[in-house]
Chain A
Amino acid sequence: MTQYRVLPGPEHFLPPAAASMGIYLPNPGEAHINGVIVPEEKAYEEAARQFLMAQVPTIFPGPLVLWAWNEKAAKKAAAVRSLYETLKECVQPGQKPMLIPMPDYRPKYPKINPEVEINPNHPNLTIWHNKIDCCMFIGVHCHQANLSLKIIRGGTSCYTVAMCAQAGHEDAMLSFRDASVEKILKLGEWIRKLKGTVKPRLASAKTSASN
């Protein structure tokens, strides 16, 4: 069994693909946390905990939900919006949840405005600019998500969650698979459930600074 763990970076300039380090994808009903396969229920709890702990928890909806390709996509978009609203309700003062779109994959370097969008070819610009310390990808085509997650792991300390509609992402620190409206809403329920029980990193950062 591999000793490699998918952890927040910065790992180094070109981090290895987690798959090449022996990390494999979860089966249906499972998820992975840091590359370790876990029951899906545990992953909901951990993802909710990470969101509530983060200073700037952010959802990055991709083209598969931003554009109303079909009814299902529009419903997922509504669920993403609901998750974001839940997050806003549940965080504590000082935390700043964000919802930043990835409208397409064109490499728009260097004209991207990191305040309003993220681009998979240089996601770090948006992460750094907004000081995002926990993010979730949803509705991003797998090949672009893999590229982006690896860049984020390589160059930032941001905790990455992937809500993947296919088989999941090894390169995220936490990955669900078979994403659906129900799963997105269930994550919202877990955030609500853990509201007030998780100490935001903001507060602990102040404590460690004072030490």
Chain B
Amino acid sequence: MSKERIKISPDLYDIMPSDYQDLVQSATYGKEDRGWKDIGTSKELIEQHSLCAGCPESMAFRYILASLPNPEDTVMVGSTGCTSLVFPMVAVHNIHSLFGNQNAIASGLKRALSVRFPDRVKDVVVLAGDGATVDIGLDMTLQAWFRQEKFTTICFDNELYANTGGQESGLMQKGFVAKMAPVGKLFDKVRLPEIARESGCHYVVNCTVSKPSLVEKVIRNSVLIAREIGPTYIQLYTPCILEIGKNSMEGLQEMRDSEKPTERFAYKEYVSEPAKQFLAELAAKDKERKAAAKQLAGKA
């Protein structure tokens, strides 16, 4: 469906930079089962970016963009932080909001899109750092959930303000000493996943981005549930390797270490009853579709 809307004018095709030609030819817009396995065989929706070498956030971005179920009709809302360095390189509509305002912007956007495009599914996905989500934007984050706004909130949790030099954030773990927080965090990490559940989110996940297939499942579920039922919240650990004193190649291990059963990013998932029912229906339909496709392939 989407490729029909993304066409280069034939008379000017040859002058388009190759990035754009590739997007039209081999990006996975409109592909029903798109996912992280498309990475490497199709054009990704993220171009070169300016994040640090080995930054887990860049992995998260790639997996998320590969997993969005409906990228051509998705608008992402970002906020100030390292993520805002990436959005200019992303081939999905996106809006940069004032620091902390992302969920308020997304609320208005989602409503406006429903009015403007009543016959088309339009997904809104907020993607912001922990400072924007939990500290500066907590009011907007919570109020959007209280109002049951139908969009997904993704928090890239690196447990501090990374691109301003390492100040303490609400999601920083207790006792952690950062470059700009020399005394060490005196309080516990804010338990936002639990707050999200109590605030009315229908699907809440706390995990790292070490496993692409898991990220794919979580992102897909969160967007589809938000589309049909209500707000969803995903908290992904994307450690800032620079601020925690790691090398470029150590980000993945840091995430693996932090997702062990007793650690703070052990996989936790909450699914509300309506969302459970919805996912079950979705799985049944999916099974049916795959069986039909298999049957068709057998006949052919």
B11 on interface, CB distance cutoff 8 Å: yes
Q: Could you tell me if A68 and B17 are in contact, using CB atoms closer than 8 angstroms?
A: no
The closest CB in chain B to the CB of A105 belongs to B88
How many A residues, CB 8 Å from partner?
24
Q: Mark B4-35, 1 if CB is under 8 A from A, else 0.
A: 01111111100111001000000000000000
Q: Give the shortest distance, in Å, between A140 (CB) and chain B (any CB).
A: 14
Q: Among A80, A108, A111, A117, which residue has its beta carbon within 8 angstroms of that of B12?
A: A80
Q: Could you tell me if B88 and A68 are in contact, using CB atoms closer than 8 angstroms?
A: no
Q: Could you tell me if B16 and A106 are in contact, using CB atoms closer than 8 angstroms?
A: no
Asked if A67 meets B6 with Cβ closer than 8 Å, knowing A103-B17, A107-B88, A108-B89, the reply is yes
Asked if A108 meets B88 with Cβ closer than 8 Å, knowing A66-B12, A73-B9, the reply is yes
Q: Could you tell me if B20 and A103 are in contact, using CB atoms closer than 8 angstroms?
A: yes
B253 on interface, CB distance cutoff 8 Å: no
Q: How far is the CA of A61 from the CA of B6 in the complex (A)?
A: 17
Q: How far is the CA of A103 from the CA of B89 in the complex (A)?
A: 13
B164 on interface, CB distance cutoff 8 Å: no
**8 Å CB interface, B249-290 against A:** none
A194 on interface, CB distance cutoff 8 Å: no
Q: Could you tell me if A99 and B15 are in contact, using CB atoms closer than 8 angstroms?
A: yes
Q: Among B12, B88, B89, which residue has its beta carbon within 8 angstroms of that of A101?
A: B12
Q: Could you tell me if A113 and B9 are in contact, using CB atoms closer than 8 angstroms?
A: no
Q: Give the shortest distance, in Å, between A79 (CB) and chain B (any CB).
A: 8
Q: Give the shortest distance, in Å, between A143 (CB) and chain B (any CB).
A: 15
Q: How far is the CA of A108 from the CA of B48 in the complex (A)?
A: 10
Q: Could you tell me if B16 and A68 are in contact, using CB atoms closer than 8 angstroms?
A: no
Q: How far is the CA of A40 from the CA of B254 in the complex (A)?
A: 66
Q: Give the shortest distance, in Å, between A4 (CB) and chain B (any CB).
A: 34
Q: Among A68, A107, A108, A113, which residue has its beta carbon within 8 angstroms of that of B8?
A: A68
Interfacial chain B residues near A116, Cβ < 8 Å: 15, 17
The closest CB in chain B to the CB of A112 belongs to B17
Q: How far is the CA of A65 from the CA of B11 in the complex (A)?
A: 10
Q: Among B8, B48, B88, B89, which residue has its beta carbon within 8 angstroms of that of A66?
A: B8
A77 on interface, CB distance cutoff 8 Å: yes
The closest CB in chain A to the CB of B19 belongs to A103
Q: How far is the CA of A99 from the CA of B10 in the complex (A)?
A: 15
Asked if A111 meets B48 with Cβ closer than 8 Å, knowing A66-B16, A67-B6, the reply is yes
Q: Give the shortest distance, in Å, between B290 (CB) and chain A (any CB).
A: 34
The closest CB in chain B to the CB of A100 belongs to B15
Q: Give the shortest distance, in Å, between A187 (CB) and chain B (any CB).
A: 16
A78 on interface, CB distance cutoff 8 Å: yes
Q: How far is the CA of A73 from the CA of B10 in the complex (A)?
A: 11
**8 Å CB interface, A172-200 against B:** none
Interfacial chain A residues near B48, Cβ < 8 Å: 111
Interfacial chain B residues near A202, Cβ < 8 Å: none
Q: Could you tell me if A106 and B88 are in contact, using CB atoms closer than 8 angstroms?
A: yes
Interfacial chain A residues near B5, Cβ < 8 Å: 69
**8 Å CB interface, A36-74 against B:** 61, 65-69, 73-74
- In the A-B complex, the 4 residue pairs with the closest CB atoms: A77-B9, A81-B11, A68-B7, A78-B11
Binding site for A on B (CB under 8 A): 5-12, 15-17, 20, 47-48, 88-89
